Chains A and B, each alone.
Chain A
Amino acid sequence: MNYIYYNDKKPRLLLWVGLMLFGIGLILFLYLVKIRALQTRAEIAQLHRSIMQEEQELRLLSAELAYLQNPERLKKLAQEYLDLQPVRNSQIKTMNVIAELDAEEER
């Protein structure tokens, strides 16, 4: 009987230590999770930034494309290198007209 209090203190101590360790473990776990979250957040920010950068790049490129495809510029280039002119009405023929021409030739 005399040692019983010893014996029933010991498991309590163990329980305490165990709980303590568990608590510390939990805190540690929480801490690590938080670090992970922080890292992920930074990663998200990084991704957001690169998305925005890409969007900027895209905007810039579309503006540049629009500038390069500007009709005024294309007109100048076409005149300089291709000797092209806008389509004349006389260059457009309907199928009926072509069929008639064809028939005339055969005759």
Chain B
Amino acid sequence: MKELSPLTVSDSPFLQNAPVLSIGDEDGQLVRAARIRIFISMIIFAGFALVLITRLANISLFNQKNLAIMPAAENIKLRGNIYDRNGELLVSSLKTFSLYADPRKVWDIENSTEAILSVLPDLDPVVLEEKLRSKKAFVWIRRNLTPKEKQAVFELGLPELGFKTEPKRVYPRGSLAAHVLGFTDIDQNGVAGVERAFGSVLQTGQPAVLSIDLRVQFALEDELKRGMSTYQALAASGIVMNIKTGELLALASMPDFNPNRPAKSSPENRLNHASMSLYELGSTFKPISMALALEEGVVSAGEKIPVQNKLKIRDKIIRDDHKSKVPLGAFDILAKSSNKGVSILSLRAGAQAQQNLLRKLGLFDRVPIELKESARPLIAKEWQDLTVATVSYGHGISVTPLALATAISALLNDGVYIEPTIYKRQDMSKAGFRRVVSSQTSRTLTDMMRYVVTNGTGRNAEVAGYGVMGKTGTAEKLIDGKYVKNRLLTSFVAAFPHKDPKYLVFIVYDEPKPTKDSFGYATAGWNATKTAGAVIERIVPILGVRPDYNEQIALLGGGQ
């Protein structure tokens, strides 16, 4: 390109004072400006090209990783785990793979059916083939595969198959503590037990830590299962409770179910007898009547109650199973389980005092536990003298095993009632508690209940060195308005150690049968008592309770 030189006019003498004209200049300037613009544009374009090349080089040479942003499916919030008091896993949520097929993509139906069946042999071949033959774009083949199954299916390499991740609730301990844990529906909503009670917490992914001790729970269930088969009972309940904290260490109901497959069990199996079934528990109520008598001061130490005489209230004759020909002291009334004895004492204390005590022990209301499965008791509408008598030995009032366990715990816990809980109690100050009877009454009652095991109907529950206390209960079941002789409800409430009661064990059998070594008896002393003893023997090493063989029982004013 030819260089343009500017035309200068300033040298002309005529135009010394004339304004400067620079047309040529303007042309030149325009050209220059154009060139600059071109140059700038070139730089810009070159810049862009450079950027593109850089990016291209960057992508092709250095960036091997997939840039895809996380798919939303990876973000499913899993339901929180459930642990026992020692951090042992009880319930977890896992992401599982569900297998679906797109039947439009099937090449060879028979081949595909065969291939899928080779990996998932339990599928129905007819149903599977029908699914693959359908004209739909999506059919479920199998929900919630295990990782191994998923891998096997994956290795088939069939193009029509695909996976969707879905959360699944798993109960790795099987039926253990099934009634406590409960279960969820397919949408992961809690339907029963802890799953339901703590549903809102678990839903946020927060874990729940229970008061249950896995080992104690297993010992209890193991012994109850043994008892169920030995005594051929219809049902059984078991409770192990920490008297001092109100925490439930174990709660079992038989028959049980597997929460992994709740739909496969019957509603009867899913029923939590320990907290939902109402029973006339019978003589296990008598410690309450004794506490009433002691608290009201209607029995003095060494006093003998005339239980040998006939007792008739409103045309109803009160009978004793173990008839006594002599008057009995308070200790022996409990040890020999005299209905007449506790009736007489309770009538002395009066209906008002009896009702007050029962109310304070929480027996007039549902147990204030977190579980929704907590039944309201059945109580007589009118409280006559006959009611006072029958209730004193556990008839005419239907409560859950958990309700009675809680009440007896209160009597043994220095007379202080503590709201029971299924949650691990971190802070005792938050627990609801109230005094029910005096320390002295509580102390005397522990002696009386120890005496039942050493000298009375509870002998089979003795575990040497642990000072087991207890009370048996054998009640005839009320069927169609009549008490039936050979259909019994037997129970045993035990607690230990006697010196300072810390743990309570409650066992209930529904319709146990006599065994070879029970001499035809199916009363509590032959089944529930034995089971309670066996449970105590198994859980003391777990709970770290040390034996004390030097224990001397100071039987205040008792014994014959």
Contact = CB atoms under 8 A, between A and B. Distances in A.
Nearest to B20: A2
Interface string A45-69: 1101100100010011011111100
Interface in B159-177: 170, 172-174, 176
B200 interface: no
Contacts of B47: 24, 27-28
Contacts of A96: 549-550
Given A27-B47, A38-B67, A66 B174 contact: no
B58 interface: yes
Interface stretch (B37-45, B241-249, B265-273, B291-299): B37-45
Contact of B219 (A13, A39, A86): A86
Interface in A71-105: 71-72, 75, 86-89, 92, 94, 96-97
Contacts of B219: 86
Interface stretch (B85-93, B100-108, B119-127, B484-492): B85-93
A90 to B, nearest CB: 8
User: Which of B10, B176, B541, B546 is the most central at the interface, judged by chain A CB atoms within 10 Å of its CB?
Assistant: B541
A42 B463 contact: no
B173 A70 contact: yes
Given A16-B36, A32-B54, A70 B172 contact: yes
Contact of B69 (A21, A35, A45, A70): A45
Given A2-B8, A49-B74, A60-B147, A17 B88 contact: no
B186 interface: no
Nearest to A95: B546
Given A2-B8, A63-B92, A94-B547, A72 B176 contact: yes
A13 B36 contact: yes
User: Which of B63, B70, B88, B548 is the most central at the interface, judged by chain A CB atoms within 10 Å of its CB?
Assistant: B70
Contact of A92 (B6, B32, B547): B547
Contact of B51 (A9, A31, A60, A89): A31
Contacts of A56: 94-95
Contacts of A94: 465, 546-549
A65 to B, nearest CB: 8
A20 B40 CA distance: 8
Nearest to A45: B70
B464 interface: yes
Contacts of B67: 38-39, 42
Contacts of A49: 70, 74
Interface residues of B, number: 55
Interface residues of A, number: 46
B222 interface: yes
A9 B68 CA distance: 51
Nearest to B39: A17
A59 B94 contact: yes
Contacts of B218: 71-72
Nearest to A38: B67
A54 to B, nearest CB: 13
Nearest to A28: B51
Contact of A89 (B90, B95, B537): B537
Nearest to B223: A86
Given A28-B50, A32-B54, A71-B176, A59 B538 contact: no
Contacts of A67: 172-173
B66 interface: yes
A65 B173 CA distance: 10
B214 interface: yes
Contacts of A31: 51, 54-55
Contacts of A48: 70
Interface string B445-469: 0000000000000000001111000
B516 interface: no
User: Which of A13, A21, A89, A94 is the most central at the interface, judged by chain B CB atoms within 10 Å of its CB?
Assistant: A89
A16 B40 contact: yes
A6 B25 CA distance: 10
B226 to A, nearest CB: 11
B58 A35 contact: yes
A42 B43 contact: no
Interface in B515-560: 537-538, 540-541, 546-550
Interface of B: 6, 8, 10, 32, 36, 39-40, 43-44, 47, 50-51, 54-55, 58, 63, 65-70, 74, 78, 88-90, 92-95, 147, 170, 172-174, 176, 214-215, 218-219, 222, 463-466, 537-538, 540-541, 546-550
Given A41-B69, A42-B67, 13 more contacts: A24-B47, A27-B51, A28-B54, A60-B147, A62-B89, A67-B172, A70-B172, A86-B537, A86-B538, A87-B541, A89-B464, A89-B540, A92-B541
